[in-house]
């Protein structure tokens, strides 16, 4: 007749293969603490289980995956409390039109857009220019692979926290928004890439979730972009040129 020990020992192979339920695992781990035989068995079998990941046919990951990983890593802080489920990172809705330079839009919009670009490039109305802080936590030095830049808000967005994470080598950027107020009915937030030569390129629209959070991934070409900015525009697709001064902005180089 099987003893309790035998019963627990028979679960060790499943333990090292990672196929026990949380409750079963917890019970067995408690047993292992006090049972040297089962500990030795687990250690021995674990050596075999540890090489199983090497068995599959090698498949080269797509080139974009490295950038995705680095952007996602740079967006979180080590040892932060885990969310209940994996953090969704929705891509921004793809724009139907190509980004337009300011000279191609109407005069009224062009004037607003010009003021917008001048304001953000000069840092007017935003206190001080933002500084990249590279490290994801204190004590970390600037990381060339992926750099983090804070965006600064004003007015209704003064309390918003937003960080842009840029993996320039892979042309990827991710923006993590927290504490965003909901835009007025029928309107959306629109992201803009501001270039060094004074253009504002639409980079997508989004609406925060009910908690005011949203993580968005920019899929646009980042070459030439020096700043990111956010305005409130008409929904659902936003506009081709900003109609107001930015509520939130920061540099990304």
Q: Which residues bind other proteins (CB under 8 A)?
A: 10-22, 25, 29, 40, 42-62, 65-66, 68-70, 72-74, 76-80, 82, 84-87, 135-137, 139-141, 143-146
Burial 148-171 (b: 16+ CB within 10 A, else e): bbebbbeeebeebbbbbbbbbebe
Q: Which is nearer to other proteins, 15 or 193 (CB)?
A: 15
At closest approach, how far in Å is the CB of 189 from other proteins? 24
Q: Which is nearer to other proteins, 92 or 113 (CB)?
A: 92
Q: Which is nearer to other proteins, 78 or 155 (CB)?
A: 78
Q: Which of 127, 145, 19 is nearest to 72 (CA)?
A: 145
At closest approach, how far in Å is the CB of 144 from other proteins? 6
Give every CB contact of residue 46 below 8 A, 6+ residues apart in sequence.
16
Give every CB contact of residue 3 below 8 A, 6+ residues apart in sequence.
none
Q: Give the SS3 label for residue 85.
A: coil
Q: Which is nearer to other proteins, 12 or 200 (CB)?
A: 12
Q: Are 78 and 136 in contact (CB under 8 A)?
A: yes
Q: How far is CA 4 from the centre of its chain?
A: 48
At closest approach, how far in Å is the CB of 33 from other proteins? 13
At closest approach, how far in Å is the CB of 215 from other proteins? 12
Output DSSP code: residue 104: G
Question: Quick one: 233 exposed, middle or buried, by C-beta within 10 A (0-12, 13-18, 19+)?
Answer: buried
Q: Which is nearer to other proteins, 26 or 106 (CB)?
A: 26
Q: Which is nearer to other proteins, 9 or 117 (CB)?
A: 9
Q: Are 229 and 194 in contact (CB under 8 A)?
A: yes
At closest approach, how far in Å is the CB of 170 from other proteins? 10
At closest approach, how far in Å is the CB of 237 from other proteins? 26
Q: Are 130 and 250 in contact (CB under 8 A)?
A: yes
């Amino acid at each position: 007749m099987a003893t309790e020990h035998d019963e627990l020992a028979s679960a060790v192979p499943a333990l090292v293969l990672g196929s026990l339920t949380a409750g079963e695992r917890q019970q067995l781990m408690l047993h292992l603490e006090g049972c040297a035989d089962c500990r030795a068995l687990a250690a021995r079998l674990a050596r075999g289980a540890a090489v199983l990941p090497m068995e599959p046919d090698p498949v080269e990951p797509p080139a974009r995956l490295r950038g995705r990983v680095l952007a996602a890593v740079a967006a979180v802080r080590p040892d932060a409390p885990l969310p209940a489920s994996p953090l969704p990172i929705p891509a921004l809705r793809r724009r139907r039109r190509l980004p337009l330079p300011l000279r191609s839009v109407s005069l009224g919009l062009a004037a607003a857009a010009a003021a917008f670009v001048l304001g953000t490039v000069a840092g007017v109305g935003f206190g001080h220019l933002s500084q990249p802080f590279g490290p994801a936590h204190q004590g970390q030095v600037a990381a060339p692979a992926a750099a983090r830049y804070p965006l600064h808000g004003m007015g209704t967005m003064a309390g918003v926290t937003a960080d842009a994470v840029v993996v320039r080598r892979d042309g990827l950027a991710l923006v993590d928004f927290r504490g965003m107020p909901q835009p007025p009915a029928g309107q959306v937030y629109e992201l803009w890439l501001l270039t060094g030569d004074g253009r504002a390129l639409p980079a997508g629209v989004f609406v925060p979730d009910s908690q005011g959070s949203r993580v968005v991934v920019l899929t646009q070409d980042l070459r030439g972009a020096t700043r990111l900015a956010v305005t409130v525009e008409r929904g659902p697709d936003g506009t081709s040129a900003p109609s107001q001064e930015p509520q939130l902005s920061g540099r990304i180089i």
